[in-house]
Amino acid sequence: MSIHIFGNTPATRPITVKGYCPDCGDSVTFDSLRSVDLTITTHEKGIPQTGSGTCHAGLRSCPGADCHFLVFYIYDPSSGETKFFPPVKISFDKKNLPKKVLQAFEEAIDCFANECFMSTGMMIRKTLEEVCADRGATGDNLFKKIESLKTKVSVPNDFFDGLHNLRFLGNDAAHIESQVFASLGHKECQAGLNVLRMFLQSVYQYKSILEELDSLKS
């Protein structure tokens, strides 16, 4: 969303702002602050003489008792879209992830939150490379490394089709035009990150999840 201001007035009614908190990740209705929301008339970039739409903007805080994170929101009534700054990130559990895997995956999520989809695709691929390195999967290209990974991790076989799709996503990100996926945008990257997140859980976290329940037995 790119907003260019043509004019602004104080909003005449309170705006209800809902969404995921960028900090704690909870789905919340944000608290109002003692600041006035703005109703903004926007203009198309490059043609500042004519108003072209209306949106609302202002400050809010997360109602979470341990959070109260400050966000700036922009709400576009015509599309129903609300954007937050800092942007909302996909939440995930960092437990037991090796440092290099975590670093690459966090950067993929940062790129996605900032709508840098080609960079997201490349960092998804980089995360996969780091998992292969961590588990000692070998090969002179990522295809061979993923095939080698089959003998290094205990996950359902279906995952490996998913990993090859992630490899394609990374390849498409490195090319000028997508060659396997129709495009490389929000949907493709979100689906890719979901596959990768579940794979990381299966490789690095399932034991601790099982142990947590086991440890609660008397």
Instruction: Tell me if residue 28 falls in helix, strand or coil.
Output: strand
Binding mask 4-33 for Zn ion (x = CB under 5 A): -----------------x-xx---------
Backbone angles phi, psi at 215, to 5 degrees: -70, -15
Between 24 and 153, name the residue whose CB sits nearer to Zn ion: 24
Least distance (Å) between residue 76 CB and Zn ion: 23
Which of these segments, 60-68, 70-78, 117-125, 141-149, binds Zn ion (CB under 5 A)? 60-68
* C-beta closer to Zn ion: residue 66 or 158: 66
Secondary structure (3-state) at 125: helix
CB count, 10 Å around CB of 188?
A: 23
For the CB of residue 209, give the shortest distance to Zn ion in the complex, in Å.
Answer: 24
CA gap 169, 175 in Å, rounded: 10
Q: How many CB atoms lie within 10 A of CB 113?
A: 16
- Only one of the segments 58-66, 173-181, 192-200, 206-214 lies at the binding site for Zn ion (rule: CB under 5 A); that segment is 58-66
Q: What totals of helices (H) and strands (E) does the chain contain, helices first?
A: 6, 8
SS3 192: helix
Query: Does residue 96 come out as left (phi exceeding 0), alpha (psi in the -120 to 50 range) or beta?
Result: left
Which is nearer to Zn ion, 68 or 150 (by Cβ)? 68
Whole-number minimum distance, CB 23 to Zn ion, in Å? 5
**62 sits near Zn ion (criterion: CB under 5 A):** yes
Q: What's the closest the beta carbon of residue 61 comes to Zn ion, in angstroms?
A: 8
Q: Closest distance between Zn ion and the C-beta of residue 20, in Å?
A: 9
Tokens, residue 16: 């209800």
**Hey, what are 89's tokens?**
């990130």
Q: How many residues bind Zn ion (CB under 5 A)?
A: 7
Stretch of 32-40, 48-56, 68-76, 177-185 lying at the interface with Zn ion (CB under 5 A):
68-76
Q: Residue 180's CB: how many other CB atoms inside 10 A? A: 14
The pair of three-digit structure tokens given for residue 17, joined into one six-digit string: 């702002």
Residues that bind Zn ion (CB under 5 A): 21, 23-24, 62, 64, 67, 69
